[in-house]
Each structure stands twice: as C-alpha cells, then as structure tokens.
C-alpha cells in the first residue's frame, strides 16, 4: 500500500466516497484531484480511515514535496515575524530580548532570531525546530501553563492527526524505550527535563520543546504478557499556544533525532 501510485482514481479508492462536503469540495472525486495537485491535504477529510491517513502522510513527507512546502511555509512565517515588536511580545512567549534579537529556549538550548527571522544557536540548527519556533513566536496569543494535562486528540484539530501522531510519535518512542532502557532518563539530562512521581508509570517526565509548550511523556514497561505503553500528554495551554501541525512536527522531530543524539542504532 505504501507504493500506491497517486493518480486521482487511485486516491479516490481510499476516500469514503460519501460526497459529504466536509472538505468544502462538492465530491470525493474533486477532493482526490485536489490531493494530487497539492491544493488539499489528506487530513482535510475528517472521515479518512487511519490506514489511508498513513498512506497520504507518506506522500506528503516525500523529500521533494516536503522541502518545497516547508520552504514556502517558513518564508511566510518570516514575513510575519519581521513585522513584530520583539520587545513587546517576548514576555508572553517566555523569551528574552538581547539587542535587536529575540532569544528563546527549546529543550534546554537557546535559539537566537534576528528581526528577519534568521536563526542561530549555541548548538547546530535543528531543522525540525525552525518552523514550529517561528510559528510559536508569530502566534497571536499565548496562555500561561495550566498544570492540567490533556491528550493529543483533545487539542484542537488533534482528532484528525491522531492516527499519524500515534504511528510517528508515540509508537516509535515506545519501541526506542523498550530497546534502550535508559533512553528516557537520558532525555532528562540532555534536554533539561523534569522527572515527576505523581503519575502511575515506570517513568514520567516533562520536557519543554518551547517555553509554553510542555509535554509529559509517560512510559510503562512490558510486564509478563502485557506490552509496554507510552503516552504523550500536553499542558492544556498548548491548545491555544500553537497550531496542531507544529505540535506534531515538534514531537515527530524529537523522536527522529533521538537515535542520532544518543548514538542508537535503529534496525
């Protein structure tokens, strides 16, 4: 299924074919054509089966398509960023201003952005942080951290992304934790995390991909015939502070770079 040829008719076969109009197009065939041309995204069909979501996601993540889409998106964010009064917005972002630059922390690392949105860091620039960070800074509102934790699907738009979030974020991280027992403990040291003891799990820790985007990772190891379980929760403020796509990008990017950071060989 991962080798599906993305013609209009082949895409149409995977759609509900109900012509419900929820995608704001008159028919599923029109939606299939829009997916093929790139004017619509797979997740704009709320009734798409999880297996089909993964198929369309794989296409959207193809190197050439991803590179073009990401570059256009980042350019738009930089244009918006250039119009901001950095000194005025820094306090509500949990950021600081040094000279003409804004400094913001991601996973314990400082990232510095000039007024054109160009980014530098004390470490190398992590590509998957760039777009979410710009999106976070240009977001209109930021609520304070609430201390109330919600699931990914409870975030606005999360239901449509849940299948992809499970397969690209929670499941790969669970397998990594199964194969590398010290993985989550290493995360605490590497990314300035915080261990907690009030959640019933073998390991529970809080990380800050962005100052007001805390995530809670809870891992329960395998027990006899029971499979291990890993769940990622989000502070309720995330529902307001960042778009669902950027939240997904932060989490999936973190999972993807972990093997490189920890010198883990992935089979």
Q: Give me the residue label for tokens 């529970």.
A: 204
Between 2-16, 71-85, 134-148, the lowest mean confidence (pLDDT) is in: 2-16
Range of the domain at 127: 64-138
Q: Which of 138, 159, 192 is the last residue of a domain?
A: 138
**Residue 46: inside a domain, yes or no?**
yes
Helix (H, G, I), strand (E, B) or coil at 103: strand
pTM above 0.85, yes or no: no
Q: Which of 116, 138, 160 is the last residue of a domain?
A: 138
Helix (H, G, I), strand (E, B) or coil at 6: coil
| Residues 168 and 257 both lie in one domain | yes
| Confidence at residue 75, expressed as pLDDT on a 0 to 100 scale | 87
**Residue 1: inside a domain, yes or no?**
no
155: burial class by Cβ within 10 Å (0-12, 13-18, 19+)? buried
Q: Please report, rounded to a whole number, the percentage of residues in the chain having pLDDT higher than 70.
A: 85
CATH number of the domain that 211 lies in?
3.30.310
| Confidence at residue 63, expressed as pLDDT on a 0 to 100 scale | 45
Q: Which of 75, 110, 138 is the last residue of a domain?
A: 138
Taking the C-alpha atoms of residue 56 and residue 77, their distance in angstroms, rounded to an integer, is: 25
**Residue 208: inside a domain, yes or no?**
yes
**Residue 16: inside a domain, yes or no?**
yes
- What would the pLDDT profile of 139-194 be if each residue is shown by its tens digit? 988 999 999 999 999 999 888 888 889 988 999 999 999 998 888 888 888 888 89
Taking the C-alpha atoms of residue 201 and residue 193, their distance in angstroms, rounded to an integer, is: 16
CATH number of the domain that 45 lies in?
1.10.15.40
| Residues 24 and 101 both lie in one domain | no
- What would the pLDDT profile of 233-251 be if each residue is shown by its tens digit? 999 999 999 999 899 989 9
Structure tokens at 121: 């860091």
Taking the C-alpha atoms of residue 151 and residue 66, their distance in angstroms, rounded to an integer, is: 27
Taking the C-alpha atoms of residue 125 and residue 103, their distance in angstroms, rounded to an integer, is: 14
- What would the pLDDT profile of 91-128 be if each residue is shown by its tens digit? 999 999 999 999 999 988 899 999 889 888 876 656 67
Residue 32: pLDDT band by 50, 70, 90 thresholds? confident
Q: Please report, rounded to a whole number, the percentage of residues in the chain having pLDDT higher than 90.
A: 43
| Residues 101 and 161 both lie in one domain | no
Residues 6+ apart with CB under 8 A from 209: 106, 107, 129, 132, 215, 250, 251, 254
Please give the sequence-ordered ranges of beta strands (E in DSSP) within 40-140, or none if there are none: 96-98, 101-106, 109-113, 119-121
């Amino acid at each position: 299924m991962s080798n599906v040829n993305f013609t209009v008719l082949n895409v149409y076969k995977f759609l509900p074919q109900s012509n419900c109009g929820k995608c704001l197009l008159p028919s599923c065939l029109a939606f299939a054509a829009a997916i093929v041309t790139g004017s619509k995204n797979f997740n704009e069909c709320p009734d798409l089966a999880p297996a089909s979501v993964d198929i369309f996601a794989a296409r959207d993540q193809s190197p050439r398509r991803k590179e073009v889409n990401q570059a256009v998106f980042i350019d738009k964010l930089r244009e918006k960023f250039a119009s901001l009064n950095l000194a005025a917005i820094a306090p509500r972002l949990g950021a600081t201003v040094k000279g003409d630059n804004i400094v913001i922390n991601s996973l314990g690392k400082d990232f510095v952005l000039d007024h054109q949105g160009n980014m530098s860091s004390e470490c190398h620039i992590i590509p998957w942080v760039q777009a979410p960070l710009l999106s976070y800074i240009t977001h209109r509102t930021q609520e304070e951290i609430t201390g109330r934790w919600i699931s990914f699907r409870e975030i606005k738009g999360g239901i449509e992304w849940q299948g992809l979030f499970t397969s690209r974020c929670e499941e790969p991280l669970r397998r990594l934790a199964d194969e590398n027992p010290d993985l989550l403990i290493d995360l605490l040291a590497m990314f300035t995390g915080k261990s907690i003891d009030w959640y019933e799990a073998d390991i529970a820790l809080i990380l800050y991909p962005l100052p007001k985007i805390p995530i809670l990772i809870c891992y329960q190891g395998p027990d006899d015939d029971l499979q291990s379980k890993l769940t990622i929760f989000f502070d309720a403020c995330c529902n307001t502070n960042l778009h669902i796509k950027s939240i997904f990008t932060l989490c999936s990017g973190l999972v993807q770079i972990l093997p490189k950071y920890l010198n883990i060989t992935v089979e």
